[in-house]
């Protein structure tokens, strides 16, 4: 009994993981809340659409991401930029199986985020979600349609396919983002 207690007590605190403040944007229905809930090991069944914004601390082995998720409805999107200040990185979620109209709206929103003065130098993780749906466009199609190569040249960005079914791939995408964040913060120091 005592041995066990000592082992727990005397190990000392684990090294502090760095924390990064991120903003998560994307149209309503793109799956932002579900993806973040699943990363936090919360049940996706309890997910409701985000109407204002919500903050989640998403734990990873080597970092904690404090993600400010902004609702994606038309009437909220115009206020997104009010919440950008202090962000160290951006997660943009798009529904790769959405209608042409929604895809175009998502493209415009992503373009304005990539060019926004408070975000333009930050690392971006762009998630092409709902890859498990039959209508999903491939990452190549998304990259071409969103004109990412010319627009994001010289920026630190990652475009990854994802779906709720493939948590390994999602975690891998976030590991890549954490690497970019570490590099970015090191350069800023």
Q: Strand 89-95 relative to strand 157-161: parallel, antiparallel, unpaired? A: unpaired
Q: Residue 93 and residue 114: Cα distance in Å, rounded?
A: 13
Q: At what angle do helices 32-39 and 167-188 cross, to 10 degrees?
A: 90
32 is in an annotated binding site: yes
154 is in an annotated binding site: no
26 is in an annotated binding site: yes
50 is in an annotated binding site: yes
Q: Is there a contact between 89 and 120 (Cβ–Cβ < 8 Å)?
A: no
86 is in an annotated binding site: no
Q: Is there a contact between 144 and 110 (Cβ–Cβ < 8 Å)?
A: no
Q: Residue 91 and residue 174: Cα distance in Å, rounded?
A: 9
121 is in an annotated binding site: no
183 is in an annotated binding site: no
108 is in an annotated binding site: no
105 is in an annotated binding site: no
127 is in an annotated binding site: no
Q: Strand 64-70: give its sheet, edge to edge.
A: 53-59, 64-70, 19-25, 89-95, 124-129, 157-161
130 is in an annotated binding site: yes
Q: Which two tokens stand for residue 151?
A: 């627009």
51 is in an annotated binding site: no
Pick out the residues of the known binding site for GTP: 26-33, 72, 129-132
**Known binding-site residue numbers:** 26-33, 50, 72, 129-132
Residue ranges for the binding site for Mg(2+)? 33, 50
């Amino acid at each position: 009994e005592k041995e066990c207690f000592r082992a727990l007590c005397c190990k000392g605190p684990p090294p502090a993981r760095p924390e990064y403040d991120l903003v998560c944007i994307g149209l309503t229905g793109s799956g932002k809340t579900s993806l973040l809930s699943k990363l936090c090991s919360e049940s996706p069944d309890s997910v409701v659409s985000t109407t204002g914004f919500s903050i989640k601390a998403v734990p990873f082995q080597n970092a904690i991401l404090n993600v400010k998720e902004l609702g994606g409805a038309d009437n909220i999107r115009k206020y997104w930029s009010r919440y950008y200040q202090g962000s160290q990185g951006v997660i943009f979620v798009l529904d790769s199986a959405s209608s042409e109209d929604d895809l175009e709206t998502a493209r415009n929103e992503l373009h304005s985020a990539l060019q926004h003065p408070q975000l333009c130098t930050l690392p971006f993780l762009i998630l092409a979600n709902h890859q498990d749906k039959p209508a999903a466009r491939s990452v190549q199609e998304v990259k071409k349609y969103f004109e990412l190569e010319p627009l994001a040249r010289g920026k630190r960005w990652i475009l990854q396919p994802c779906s709720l079914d493939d948590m390994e791939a999602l975690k891998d995408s976030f590991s890549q983002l954490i690497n970019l964040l570490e590099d970015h913060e090191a350069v800023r120091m």
